[in-house]
Structure 1
Amino acid sequence: MSTPQLPAPTPEIAPETAAFWAATLTGTLLLQRCGGCEQACYYPRYVCPQCHSTNLIDFEASGRGTIYSYTVTSRGILEYANAGAYVLAMIELDEGPKMVSNIIDCDPAGLAIGQRVEVVFSDTGGGGALPRFRPTVSES
């Protein structure tokens, strides 16, 4: 089954997200780690959601995780109205945080909770690339 052509809207870049979006252009998924409690977090922010420290340090994530939850959306809205069926998923990254993204390059019928995935990036043509995921072929 072929993956529908999904839109890749240009992100709105704020000061706290600038490093994240710049890293996506080089194929890197950045997370933050709190210097106070060691909690890894996603999305980029100024304050740790666990201990409220402002000592957050960017680090390069592995880009791997597991499917925590997913749904196949057969009727999108707005930019996704003509995309056809696509997968929207919550991915639990190996580093701990969860993020919502699309799963691409697969037959949705073959997906399962707990399945391994890896990040791929869809260029937006304007300052960032959207992190999306695809099933991992093999673990090294």
Structure 2
Amino acid sequence: MSTPLPPADFPPDETFWTATAEGRLLLPRCESCATVIWYPRPFCPRCGGRDVTWFPASGEATVYSYTVVRKARGEYRDLTPYVVAYVELAEGPRILTNIVGCDPSEVIIGQPVTLVFDAPKEGAAARLYRFRPLPAHDDANP
């Protein structure tokens, strides 16, 4: 797993990062056109509306694309291999994240994943969100 960088500290992100500190992923939605917005910002990129509200994400997603990092520099060197992925949230947006809780060779495009948070760290203002694969279902033995 990679070491998170400190989150940016500016108003559009404040609600987002405060929620992550509580182990919740909030998404912004435009009240004018119902677009779920990613990355968090105070206006809608689709219609330009400024009536943006926050709602909790379901935590369900699907791997859209990924890569396995096998060589890294600095503090990330000892963490390889790790997976960097775009996941498509059930709510629509695609977000960049890590896939954890499995061997990198087990990750596949289209794989269902679920939201997890790193353990809280003392003095940290936020927690990093990641995704892990859901257990495979055996259709022959539900």
TM-score of the two chains, using structure 2 as the length reference: 0.88
Q: Which residue of 2 aligns with 1:36?
A: 32
Please give the alpha-carbon distance, in whole angstroms, between the structure 1 residues aligned to 2:2 and 2:42. 31
RMSD: 1.6
Larger strand share, 1 or 2: 1
- Structure 1 segments, 4+ long, off by >3 Å, are none
Please give the alpha-carbon distance, in whole angstroms, between the structure 2 residues aligned to 1:10 and 1:54. 27
1:93 aligns with 2:85: no
Please give the alpha-carbon distance, in whole angstroms, between the structure 2 residues aligned to 1:78 and 1:18. 29
Distance 1:63 1:34, change over 3 A: same
1:130 aligns with 2:120: no
Match of 1:76 among 51, 68, 72: 72
Please give the alpha-carbon distance, in whole angstroms, between the structure 1 residues aligned to 2:75 and 2:15. 26
Give the deviation of 1:13 after TM superposition.
Answer: 1.8
Q: Which consecutive unaligned segments of at least 5 residues does structure 1 have? A: none
Please give the alpha-carbon distance, in whole angstroms, between the structure 2 residues aligned to 1:77 and 1:124. 24
SS at match of 1:47: coil
Q: Which residue of 2 aligns with 1:23?
A: 19
SS at match of 1:106: coil
Deviations 1:17-66 (A, max 9, x none): 01111111121100011011100112210111111111111000101100
Deviations 1:42-97 (A, max 9, x none): 22101111111111110001011000000000012344233121000000000000
Larger radius of gyration: 2
Corresponding letter in the other structure for 2:13? T
Q: RCO (CA 8 Å, sep 6+): is it higher in 1 or 2? A: 1
Please give the alpha-carbon distance, in whole angstroms, between the structure 2 residues aligned to 1:105 and 1:28. 19
TM-score of the two chains, using structure 1 as the length reference: 0.89
1:8 aligns with 2:22: no
1:117 aligns with 2:125: no
Please give the alpha-carbon distance, in whole angstroms, between the structure 2 residues aligned to 1:63 and 1:100. 14
Q: Which consecutive unaligned segments of at least 5 residues does structure 2 have? A: 138-142
Larger helix share, 1 or 2: 2
Percent sequence identity is 41
Q: Count residues in correspondence.
A: 135
Give the deviation of 1:6 after TM superposition.
Answer: 2.2
Give the deviation of 1:98 after TM superposition.
Answer: 0.6
